[in-house]
Chains A and B, each alone.
Chain A
Amino acid sequence: MEVLKIKETSDTPTIILDKENNIFEISGKSLPEDVNTFYEPVFNWLTKYFENPNPETIFTFNLDYLNTASSKSMLSLLLILENAVTKGNKVSVNWKYLTDDEDMFDVGEEYSQIIKVPFKFIPLESED
């Protein structure tokens, strides 16, 4: 399966979806002008991937900021993961956040309460 790699811009995150190397990651800021157009290829890739996934899938979120529209897109992404779990696949989320960034931690915690996928919270040292 082809690798999906999207490079970070000032309003969109870095995304790496790589089945062969078992890397599934989104990092950076997300405030695109049109969230649907931006996330559509990501959703399509994941839907196709879960037709024949790896034995274990760990999806890493290392986000700096999500605007409201993107937070709905993240929910859609997590629903794809939840759906895969329901079908019996081994899927989990690693939610990375800066130790002093309570806002990003809260966002992850709320998703973990809404979505039925195991979450692991990983604090990172802050630059301050």
Chain B
Amino acid sequence: MPSVIMSKKQTYFSILSGFNKEFNYTNTILYYEGDINHEITKSLTLTTENRLIKNNEKRIIQKKVFNIMVESLQNIDKHSTEPNSQMNINKGAILISNLTNYYSIITGNIVTEGQVKNLKKIFNNLKDKEKIELRFLYKSQLENGRLSDKGGAGLGFIDMARKACNPLKSGFYEFEKGLYLFVLEIIINKNL
């Protein structure tokens, strides 16, 4: 989990597209950068869904891509730190690529130093976990949710990890003192 400093020339797009070595313009299904809210989440997922239908992708894969897009965009919508007017950076970004054996969903958004600490803790906990362990973790977090509304920390990430059936890959790039760009890649295999 690298924490590196962003150079002035780097943009959301350069970081997101550089996150997966197999990135190629012709394989891009969608790139979006800007404000992220509920309406935008709906339009981006619908656009991607239509694209996958056109490609005759299996329904079950379409659903996985849809599920993970919703979860990651709603995460950004709810938890991203809002950029202020001097920052010259958008709230979030998403890049979806259709590669030979899998779909790659890469998101980026702004987080504070405190959030970086929490996220690193969550990803450390998810690291190297088998599907059965992720299910157990999901269930116990959901059970915690029985006790309080605040319970179930990281439930969204656990859900993404188990649905993707691949480890989540994350990175943090400092672009201003105390503020980071949080990048997350989720891989969905085409052959389940």
Contact = CB atoms under 8 A, between A and B. Distances in A.
Contacts of A101: 60, 63
Interface string B52-69: 000000111001101100
Interface string B7-27: 000000000000000000000
Contact of B38 (A33, A68, A106, A114): A33
Interface in A57-77: 64-65, 67-69, 71-72, 75
A31 B155 CA distance: 15
A75 B66 contact: no
A114 B138 CA distance: 11
B190 interface: no
Interface in B136-162: 138-139, 142-143, 145-146, 149, 152, 155-156, 159, 162
Contacts of A106: 135, 162
Nearest to B66: A65
Given A103-B67, A110-B138, A67 B163 contact: no
B61 to A, nearest CB: 10
Interface string A4-15: 000000110000
Contact of B145 (A11, A72, A128): A72
A33 B145 CA distance: 19
A10 B146 CA distance: 28
A79 interface: yes
Interface string A116-128: 0000000000111
Contacts of A71: 142, 155, 159
Interface residues of A, number: 23
Nearest to A104: B63
Contact of B71 (A67, A110, A113, A114): A67
29 contacts: A11-B42, A31-B74, A64-B63, A65-B63, A65-B66, A65-B67, A67-B74, A68-B71, A68-B74, A68-B156, A68-B159, A69-B74, A72-B142, A72-B145, A72-B149, A72-B155, A75-B146, A100-B59, A100-B60, A103-B163, A106-B162, A110-B135, A110-B138, A110-B139, A110-B142, A114-B142, A114-B146, A126-B60, A128-B58
Interface of A: 10-11, 31, 33, 64-65, 67-69, 71-72, 75, 79, 100-101, 103, 106, 110, 113-114, 126-128
Given A11-B38, A72-B145, A126-B59, 12 more contacts: A31-B70, A65-B63, A65-B67, A68-B155, A72-B142, A72-B155, A75-B146, A101-B60, A101-B63, A110-B139, A114-B139, A114-B142
Interface of B: 38, 42, 46, 58-60, 63-64, 66-67, 70-71, 74, 135, 138-139, 142-143, 145-146, 149, 152, 155-156, 159, 162-163
